[in-house]
Amino acid sequence: MGGAFVAAAVLARLGNRIGLPTIPLFILAGILLGPNTPGFVLLHDPHDLEMLSALGLVLLLFYLGLEFHMDDLKSGGKKMALAGGVYLALNVGAGLAFGFAVGWGTSEALVLAGVLGISSSAIVTKTLVDLGRIGNPETKPILGIIVVEDVFLALYLAALQPVLAGADSMGSAMVQIGKAFGFLLVLALAARFGTKVIGKLFATKDNELLVISFLGAAVLVAGIAEEFGVADAIGAFMVGLILGNTTSGERIRELVHPLRDAFGAIFFFGFGLSIDPGDLPKVLVPVLIAVALTIVMNVVAGLGAAKIYGFGAQPAANVATTLLARGEFALILATMASVAGLDDRLSPFIAGYVLILAVVAPLAAGRSSWLARLLPQKEEPSPAPSPTPVS
């Protein structure tokens, strides 16, 4: 575990010097020190980090829930919902079509739809901060699309879990999906109506007690969620959603941040351990096609968002390149697919796809002006004619 932390830290520090995001570097550290790569092997069995990786995944989604506010859906209005819907329709639809086109199976196609369809909120947020674009006018629709994606993510995983679990029949699948959505409904009602009561239960001035309380709640509900056929990560997301809207929400965000970073790094490192670099060449062509498809769909989505918000070419290019990254959600799906025993080409495909886009996206976002020159320019309204002087 110590070696995993040190290896991840060393590569991440090197990457920071050239402006690379940390997620692909954590994965790369796992690949280089895993049992499938020649040289020094830190861990011969990736399952040795399985529980720590699961905790990292739970904390990642818990933090995402803390950052999500119900008010965000109201403040953005119809434009945010429309822009997010267009983005999902284009990218998830393209991902599903790609999934069927590669012919790995129906369950695999459903997984690929999510992999190609959902942006990495962690990399998107970090990119906006690093480039100093938080105050830009196009940042609000970018974050709005992320919010819509988060809502879709919760529903998508709840519906996908029973399918991957291999329900025996349509009736059995519907029962499992019903149980999953029923559990989510209970948590959603708690988020909507029980915030004050739950807030009182977690109210304490002692940081130690607060950390133990929210960590226990997140992990416990994540475990219960699995019993109801809901992905553990979504259970943690819903707990974060509830606690983020309590009076202790801001303190919880600050306290969980280092835990999220530390165990999140172990999650990405652990995923890298399971990747065999020898498998990457046989999925290289599908990976490159998927990357090209994602770039095209993001450009089209950027133009759509610009049209909805009345932006010009440069903001449209900023939207397209900033949302390009894929990361934590794709790796969640890879983990679920591996547990479900789906096609063994999925994990190396997702690893290669995430690695390429996680590196390309921040670099492309910093050079979005190149793309802006190729996009249709917004027509400026012609000035009103000057009144004819009266002689």
Q: Distance between CA 126 and CA 25 in Å, rounded?
A: 15
Give the residue among 12, 22, 5 at the shortest CA–CA distance from 362. 22
Handedness of CA 324, 328, 332, 334 (dihedral sign): positive
Q: Distance between CA 256 and CA 356 in Å, rounded?
A: 29
Q: Which residues of the chain have pLDDT under 50?
A: 380-383
105 Ramachandran zone, left/alpha/beta (phi>0; psi -120 to 50):
left
Q: Residue 90's pLDDT is what?
A: 94
The answer to whether the beta carbons of residues 324 and 360 sit under 8 Å apart is yes
Handedness of CA 114, 234, 127, 380 (dihedral sign): positive
| Structure token pair of residue 106 | 């129906």
Give the residue among 122, 131, 142, 146 at the shortest CA–CA distance from 23. 122
User: How long a stretch of residues is the chain?
Assistant: 391
Burial class (CB within 10 angstroms; exposed 0-12, middle 13-18, buried 19+) of 135: exposed
The answer to whether the beta carbons of residues 294 and 324 sit under 8 Å apart is yes
Give the residue among 249, 240, 238 at the shortest CA–CA distance from 203. 249
Q: Residue 123's pLDDT is what?
A: 78
Q: What is the pTM of this model?
A: 0.73
Q: Residue 136's pLDDT is what?
A: 84
| Structure token pair of residue 108 | 């695999």
Q: Residue 170's pLDDT is what?
A: 60
Give the residue among 377, 334, 328, 379 at the shortest CA–CA distance from 22. 328
The answer to whether the beta carbons of residues 61 and 240 sit under 8 Å apart is yes
Q: Residue 380's pLDDT is what?
A: 47
Q: Residue 229's pLDDT is what?
A: 67
Burial class (CB within 10 angstroms; exposed 0-12, middle 13-18, buried 19+) of 113: buried
* H helix runs in the chain, sequence order: 2-17, 22-32, 50-67, 70-102, 106-117, 121-130, 139-164, 170-193, 195-202, 207-227, 232-244, 249-273, 284-309, 313-322, 328-339, 346-366, 368-372
